[in-house]
Amino acid sequence: MFQLTVLLYTLLAVLQFCEGIKYQGCYSDEDGFEDLQDVNPLGHVNDVQECVNLCTFKAYKFAGLRDKACYCGDKFENFCKIDDTFCNKACPGNGQQKCGSSEMYSIYSTNYLGCWKDSPTRDMRNFNSMPFYKATLQECVRLCHEKGFKYAGAQYYLHCYCDNRFGTYSELDKSSCSTRCRGNFQQNCGGVFANSVFDTQI
């Protein structure tokens, strides 16, 4: 019975993860210009979930896997899409997944949905104030997920908004979401009337 319960929880976690990200395809940067410029050498742990989670919480919209490295960025328009069979390198962290090849990238969208304008008439209406020592993007996503909301918006150091919709106002340049999270100064938690928005299905 215990083993069955563990199996069901594992299956639910995998399904939840698969809902939140989308495979974009196999791409080559044949022109030598890498749009995915944030390079992270993950080594033997590199796999789809590890790379996508890393890029998500570094607030990038796309993750590209190439052997032992994870590449993050907000666009890959200079890349050329090719047949999936060219991305044939098994991921070091999960042999059942493909991590591009020596010159190709397996590209996925992440759960980061951009920096979005807010106002005193809130775009996302369920408010949570995170304790400063726990104020991270992961904590905001966790709070909204546990409350059953589809989207999480981190704003101005330690505020977290949840809702099942967002986008009443316009999308902003990423620089508008540059206030450091109180619980992790390596992360940006939105800005003044600006939400860093995430899909909670991660």
> Does residue 104 sit in the same domain as residue 155?
no
Q: Which pTM value belongs to this model?
A: 0.84
Q: Is residue 4 part of a domain?
A: no
pLDDT tens digits, one per residue of 16-32: 344 456 999 999 976 65
Q: Is residue 26 part of a domain?
A: yes
Cα(18)–Cα(50) distance, integer angstroms: 13
> Does residue 17 sit in the same domain as residue 92?
yes
Cα(114)–Cα(168) distance, integer angstroms: 14
User: One-letter amino acid identity for 118?
Assistant: D
pLDDT tens digits, one per residue of 33-66: 567 889 999 999 999 999 999 999 999 999 999 9
Q: Which of 101-105, 160-164, 178-182 has the lowest mean pLDDT?
A: 101-105
Range of the domain at 160: 112-199
Q: Choose the final residue of a domain: 56, 87, 109.
A: 109
pLDDT at 4 > cutoff 70 = no
Q: List Cβ neighbours of 184 (8 Å cut-off, separation of 6 or more).
A: 135, 136, 137
> Does residue 36 sit in the same domain as residue 86?
yes
